[in-house]
Structure 1
């Protein structure tokens, strides 16, 4: 298996897309009794947009290119690998982040909290 892509993750952290940046401004807040998220987290051969280690929850912000060319097949392969590692993938359309970033962030936190109760 390929080594985690630490250098790529570091580069991506410095170059977030606009919807990733908006969502990170909400998820990075350390709120009492709320799960902690990392941005552009390297795991195995992949870099996850956001990751909550304790909940084993990956959050991917999907822009329009996720529907083009070979990208759907690549996303499916990636999702399968992550699921085999016990990681749940939650995909959020970038348009939803632009429409109501607070609602998206709140929904992600609730999902992480539900997973922590298991």
Structure 2
């Protein structure tokens, strides 16, 4: 599936990749080079009018990592809007906190693995979930 994006986001996505948070770097070490069941993930991927932290086109899966600022109501509301828009495009969102990635990587990876296994069991149809 081809997902269009705002070309103006390309440079911002590059800047975000070059200034990754510790949790993004840590999760990327587990996702890069097809380590998750052979699926190809990308970092800071522009989709529509947004940039997602990690994205796998074949799985139609976006993974978002939320720092402490995401607890602020205005930021949380933007996250909800982003998730709804991505879902409307057929992209499912798994959302984890920085704390989870830094302190409970095993369960973060298990949640991603569960998504992948369900996707494969459904014959390549994304599960109808939004994990927060």
DSSP 3-state at the match of 1:70? helix
Larger RCO (CA within 8 A; separation ≥ 6): 1
8 Å Cα contact 1:63-1:93 kept in structure 2 = yes
Alignment gaps of 5+ in structure 2 = 126-132
RMSD: 2.0
Alignment gaps of 5+ in structure 1 = none
Query: After the TM superposition, which segments of 4 or more aligned residues of structure 1 sit over 6 Å from their partners?
Result: none
Post-superposition offset of 1:80: 1.0
The 5-angstrom pairing of residues 1-118 of structure 1 reads 3-4=6-7, 5-31=9-35, 33-116=37-120, 117=123, 118=125
Q: In structure 2, what is the Cα distance between the partners aligned to 1:33 and 1:105? A: 11
Q: In structure 1, what is the Cα distance between the partners aligned to 2:44 and 2:36? A: 23
Post-superposition offset of 1:106: 4.1
TM-score scaled by structure 2?
0.79
Post-superposition offset of 1:22: 0.4
8 Å Cα contact 1:34-1:113 kept in structure 2 = no
Deviations 1:26-52 (A, max 9, x none): 110324842111110011110000001
8 Å Cα contact 1:13-1:39 kept in structure 2 = yes
Q: In structure 1, what is the Cα distance between the partners aligned to 2:77 and 2:46? A: 20
8 Å Cα contact 1:59-1:91 kept in structure 2 = yes
Deviations 1:7-66 (A, max 9, x none): 111111111101001000111032484211111001111000000100100000111111
